[in-house]
């Protein structure tokens, strides 16, 4: 009996038999518009196709100029675009899978001056206001979609995905929030869904019965003035009649203030929306968002919530997810931890997407783990993210690796991170890397701190010894009410009701969240999540929003966060996730003080001055989250012995250390050893 029988049941489509129920969802890779983008994309998709995903979806390509997301050209509108694309479907077909191209018209979400929309209403997340589409322009835009689909077909794609969710143009036609037209494209739902249906109908009639048309529906808008569940069902039925082959689901507009894919969302937290659609249409329905493990996917299918599952970031984290799941090798799967740090956050700053836990993602042609020419003895000191990544790749390349870790367990800072609400997925990464080490035959010594002399026997020594939390020289810092973030997060220190947090970087936010949300089930249970964020699951709720709003928190602590600089709070957090953390803390009444000078700590609390005004923060507990210093005490004795160690991760540079840099440095060094 296979481990995941529903996941590996074939699915019959007109003219195609998919070998399993795994669709690789569309992701912005940031490569689409680069000069070498098509070749790199071909390698990226081919690796995922070889890994067993049945059907892949590309990142979004606009059918015309107005629909572009940004100033970079990710467009399919001319023969030259078509010819550039050919390499992608060819590579995927050679790898034994199928691929559809996503057609995305951004409407009012585009970041350029030429944006258009059904009505000239500006979005809160875009400084540019759109121009209202004239009626003849609407007809032309539909024709542009159809032309793009034909070009995709000529390029060799198996189909297209029509992006009708996340608040882009098609959704802007659908929702009263953004469509105030009085002609045949606005007003009644029938009129508002005409654009979506005409796009699908046009593509179907131009491309024949076997061309796959995935329609990505907004299963839950999560904005005021969005569709109700009942209206969404009617849209689904409309696009089915118009000729869609598959119904994929998208959740939430980009301007929604409810997390949809971040760590705050439980696994499969939105699968219920797919179920509502599946009960109303005859074509297969695809569930999406936070499906990152095969057992999660299997449960969705076994429950009958959906016919397929969309895995996107999960396949960035592990290109071989499907093949490993088919083999029942759960322990061998590198699980996406939903951090967004190297994927979505990269896209926002114009960098190609990669993955924190899989640095090779997006670097398939550059970061190559070739077998080592000569087997060397390699010592890696430190079993945190940098050391784990380095030791695993080095051992897999054939080196004889010994990993030393001074704690009783592997994981380093990941062991603290996994205690933060929503970050429990970090435990998966530790288990996965430990398993890779075991399979590659690396020796793991723990708890063990090697002497420099012991390390001299190795050909290569890698110091990944991490960091020490910084203890700022504030008078009274030794006071018993002062606690380090390590003790706070590990639960080893008693924390009073009134808390002051010194430092407001990622860890200051994590600590505040830990204190306020550690009892919450919202990150692991879909119903608790809906209650927490004010989602109404009944079919008549506009936008799926509860009119009463999110649950009112009852914070267990009164928290004040402080920092010396004047920069906005949370500005160092990820672009796609920082707002979630800020919102949580605001809801819990966390006070945030910047421009602070720390004077002293005593029995009265934390004495500070802000703009010259002295005050006391009457804190029972003061938690220090003031950054880190590198820990590399082994470097000097090794250098004295004539052995230059490789220093990576926090041990090399503690400033702005994060898991992404640590794991990349580890893998990059190991690929060169």
What residues line the site for ligand SF4 (CB under 6 A)?
313, 316-317, 336-343, 355-357
Binds ligand NAP (CB under 6 A): choice among 506, 544, 550, 649: 506
550-556's contacts with Cβ under 8 Å and 24+ in sequence apart are 550/587, 553/516, 553/587, 553/588, 555/516, 555/588, 555/589, 556/497, 556/515, 556/516, 556/519
36 closest CA partner among 490, 506, 352: 352
**Which listed option, ligand NAP, ligand SF4, none, makes contact with residue 564 (CB within 5 to 8 Å by class)?**
ligand NAP
Task: Identify the three-state secondary structure at position 587.
Answer: helix
Strand partners, 87: none
Please state the φ and ψ torsions of residue 233, each to the nearest 5 degrees. Answer: -60, -40
**Residue 564 binds to ligand NAP (criterion: CB under 6 A):** yes
**Which listed option, ligand NAP, ligand SF4, none, makes contact with residue 495 (CB within 5 to 8 Å by class)?**
none
Give min distance, CB of 661 to ligand NAP, in A: 8
**Which listed option, ligand SF4, ligand NAP, none, makes contact with residue 472 (CB within 5 to 8 Å by class)?**
ligand NAP
Please state the φ and ψ torsions of residue 627, each to the nearest 5 degrees. Answer: 85, -165
| Residue 444 structure tokens | 């793991």
Q: Using CA atoms, how far apart are residues 192 and 171, in angstroms rounded to an integer?
A: 9
Is 297 or 381 the residue whose CB approaches ligand SF4 more closely?
A: 297
Binds ligand NAP (CB under 6 A): choice among 399, 563, 607, 632: 563
Please state the φ and ψ torsions of residue 80, each to the nearest 5 degrees. Answer: -65, -40
Q: Using CA atoms, how far apart are residues 630 and 410, in angstroms rounded to an integer?
A: 19
Q: Using CA atoms, how far apart are residues 220 and 226, in angstroms rounded to an integer?
A: 8
Is 32 or 345 the residue whose CB approaches ligand NAP more closely?
A: 345
Is 31 or 606 the residue whose CB approaches ligand SF4 more closely?
A: 31
24 closest CA partner among 257, 310, 358, 382: 310
Is 398 or 627 the residue whose CB approaches ligand NAP more closely?
A: 627
Give min distance, CB of 571 to ligand SF4, in A: 20
Binds ligand NAP (CB under 6 A): choice among 92, 268, 573, 601: 573
Please state the φ and ψ torsions of residue 107, each to the nearest 5 degrees. Answer: 55, -130
Binds ligand NAP (CB under 6 A): choice among 318, 510, 517, 584: 510
Is 18 or 357 the residue whose CB approaches ligand SF4 more closely?
A: 357
Which member of 168, 347, 433, 514 is catalytic? 168
**Residue 534 binds to ligand NAP (criterion: CB under 6 A):** no
**Which listed option, ligand SF4, ligand NAP, none, makes contact with residue 343 (CB within 5 to 8 Å by class)?**
ligand SF4
| Residue 120 structure tokens | 């000239």
**Residue 502 binds to ligand NAP (criterion: CB under 6 A):** yes
**Which listed option, ligand SF4, ligand NAP, none, makes contact with residue 658 (CB within 5 to 8 Å by class)?**
ligand NAP
Q: Using CA atoms, how far apart are residues 317 and 296, in angstroms rounded to an integer?
A: 16
Q: How many residues does the chain have?
A: 673
Q: Using CA atoms, how far apart are residues 487 and 33, in angstroms rounded to an integer?
A: 47
- Cα dist. 20→95, 306, 308, 310 in Å? 15, 13, 8, 12
The CA-CA-CA angle for residues 262, 9, 292, to 5°, reads 15
Look at the alpha carbons of 170, 175, 178, 179 in this order and tell me if their dihedral is positive or negative.
positive
Please state the φ and ψ torsions of residue 580, each to the nearest 5 degrees. Answer: -65, -45
Give min distance, CB of 63 to ligand NAP, in A: 35
**Which listed option, ligand SF4, ligand NAP, none, makes contact with residue 406 (CB within 5 to 8 Å by class)?**
none
Give min distance, CB of 470 to ligand NAP, in A: 6
**Residue 504 binds to ligand NAP (criterion: CB under 6 A):** yes
The secondary element (H helix, E strand) that includes residue 23 is strand 22-24
**Which listed option, ligand SF4, ligand NAP, none, makes contact with residue 356 (CB within 5 to 8 Å by class)?**
ligand SF4
**Residue 648 binds to ligand NAP (criterion: CB under 6 A):** no
Give min distance, CB of 116 to ligand SF4, in A: 31
| Residue 595 structure tokens | 């421009």
222 touches 251 (CB < 8 A):
yes
| 168 catalytic per annotation | yes
Binds ligand NAP (CB under 6 A): choice among 472, 475, 491, 549: 472
Is 416 or 463 the residue whose CB approaches ligand NAP more closely?
A: 416
Give min distance, CB of 469 to ligand NAP, in A: 7
**Which listed option, ligand SF4, ligand NAP, none, makes contact with residue 504 (CB within 5 to 8 Å by class)?**
ligand NAP
Which window, 189-197, 440-448, 498-506, 609-617, contacts ligand NAP (CB under 6 A)? 498-506
* Cα-Cα end-to-end distance for the chain: 42
**Per-residue x/- track, 588-617, ligand NAP (CB under 6 A):** ------------------------------
Q: Applying CB under 6 A, what is the total number of residues that bind ligand NAP? A: 23
Give min distance, CB of 155 to ligand SF4, in A: 27
Task: Identify the three-state secondary structure at position 206.
Answer: helix
**Residue 626 binds to ligand NAP (criterion: CB under 6 A):** yes
**Residue 572 binds to ligand NAP (criterion: CB under 6 A):** yes
Is 400 or 524 the residue whose CB approaches ligand SF4 more closely?
A: 524
Is 342 or 416 the residue whose CB approaches ligand SF4 more closely?
A: 342
Task: Identify the three-state secondary structure at position 468.
Answer: strand
Give min distance, CB of 259 to ligand SF4, in A: 13
CA 493 to chain centre: 32
Pairing verdict, β 131-132 and 159-164? unpaired
Q: Using CA atoms, how far apart are residues 269 and 288, in angstroms rounded to an integer?
A: 9
**Residue 625 binds to ligand NAP (criterion: CB under 6 A):** yes
Catalog residues that contact ligand NAP under the rule CB under 6 A. 470, 472, 502-508, 510, 563-565, 572-574, 625-628, 656-658
Question: Could you list the active site residues?
Answer: 168
């Amino acid at each position: 009996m296979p481990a995941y029988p529903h996941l590996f049941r074939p699915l019959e489509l007109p003219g195609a038999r998919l070998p399993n129920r795994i669709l690789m969802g569309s992701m912005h890779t940031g490569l689409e518009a680069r000069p070498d983008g098509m070749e790199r994309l071909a390698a990226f998709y081919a690796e995922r196709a070889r890994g067993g995903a049945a059907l892949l979806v590309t990142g979004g390509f606009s059918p015309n100029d107005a629909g572009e997301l940004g100033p970079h050209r990710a467009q399919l509108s001319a023969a030259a675009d078509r010819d550039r694309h050919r390499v992608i479907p060819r590579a995927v077909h050679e790898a034994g899978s199928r691929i559809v191209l996503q057609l995305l018209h951004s409407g009012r979400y585009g970041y350029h001056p030429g944006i258009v929309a059904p009505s000239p209403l500006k979005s809160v997340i875009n400084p540019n206001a759109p121009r209202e589409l004239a009626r003849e322009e609407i007809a032309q835009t539909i024709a542009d979609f159809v032309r793009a689909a034909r070009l995709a077909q000529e390029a060799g794609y198996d189909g297209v995905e029509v992006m009708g969710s996340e608040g882009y143009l098609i959704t802007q036609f659908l929702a009263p929030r953004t469509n105030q037209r009085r002609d045949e494209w606005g007003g009644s739902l029938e009129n508002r869904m005409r654009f979506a249906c005409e796009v699908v109908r046009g593509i179907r009639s131009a491309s024949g019965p076997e061309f796959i048309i995935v329609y990505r529906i907004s299963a839950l808008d999560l904005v005021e003035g969005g569709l109700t569940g009942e209206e969404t069902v009617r849209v689904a039925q409309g696009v089915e009649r118009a000729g869609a082959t598959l119904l994929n689901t998208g959740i939430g507009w980009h301007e929604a203030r409810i997390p949809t894919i971040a760590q705050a969302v439980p696994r499969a937290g939105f699968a219920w929306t797919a179920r509502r659609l599946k009960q109303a249409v005859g074509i297969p329905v695809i569930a999406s968002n936070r499906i990152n493990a095969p057992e999660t996917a299997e449960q969705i299918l076994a429950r009958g919530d959906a016919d397929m599952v969309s895995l996107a970031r999960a396949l960035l984290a592990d290109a071989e997810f499907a093949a490993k799941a088919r083999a029942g090798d759960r322990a061998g799967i590198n699980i996406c931890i939903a951090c967004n740090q190297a994927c979505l956050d990269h896209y926002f700053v114009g960098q190609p997407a990669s993955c924190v836990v899989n640095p090779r993602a997006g670097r398939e042609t550059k970061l190559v783990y070739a077998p080592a020419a000569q087997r060397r003895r390699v010592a890696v000191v430190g079993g945190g993210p940098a050391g784990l990544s380095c030791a695993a790749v080095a051992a897999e390349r054939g080196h004889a690796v010994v990993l030393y870790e001074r704690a009783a367990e592997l994981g380093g800072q990941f062991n603290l991170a996994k205690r933060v609400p929503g970050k429990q997925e970090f435990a998966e990464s530790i288990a996965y890397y430990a398993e890779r080490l075991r399979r590659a035959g690396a020796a793991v010594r723990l708890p063990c701190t090697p002497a420099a002399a012991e390390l001299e026997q190795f050909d290569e020594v890698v110091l990944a010894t991490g960091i020490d939390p910084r203890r700022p020289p504030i008078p009274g810092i030794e006071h018993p009410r002062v606690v380090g973030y390590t003790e706070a997060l590990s639960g080893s220190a008693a924390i009073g009701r009134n808390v002051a947090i010194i430092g407001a970087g990622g860890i200051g936010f994590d600590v505040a969240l830990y204190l306020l949300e550690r009892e919450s089930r919202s990150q692991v249970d879909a119903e608790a999540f809906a209650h927490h964020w004010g989602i109404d699951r009944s079919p008549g709720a506009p936008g799926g929003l509860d009119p009463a709003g999110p649950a009112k928190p009852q914070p267990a602590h009164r928290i004040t966060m402080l920092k010396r600089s004047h920069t906005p709070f949370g500005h160092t957090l990820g672009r796609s996730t920082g707002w979630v953390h800020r919102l949580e803390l605001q809801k819990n009444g966390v006070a945030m003080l910047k421009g602070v000078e720390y004077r002293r700590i005593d029995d009265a609390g934390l004495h500070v001055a802000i703009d010259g005004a002295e005050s006391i923060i009457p804190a029972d507990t003061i938690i220090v989250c003031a950054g880190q210093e590198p820990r590399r005490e082994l470097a000097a004795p090794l250098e004295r012995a004539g052995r230059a160690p490789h220093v990576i991760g926090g041990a090399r540079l503690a400033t702005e250390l994060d898991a992404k840099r640590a794991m990349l440095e580890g893998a990059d060094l190991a690929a060169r050893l």
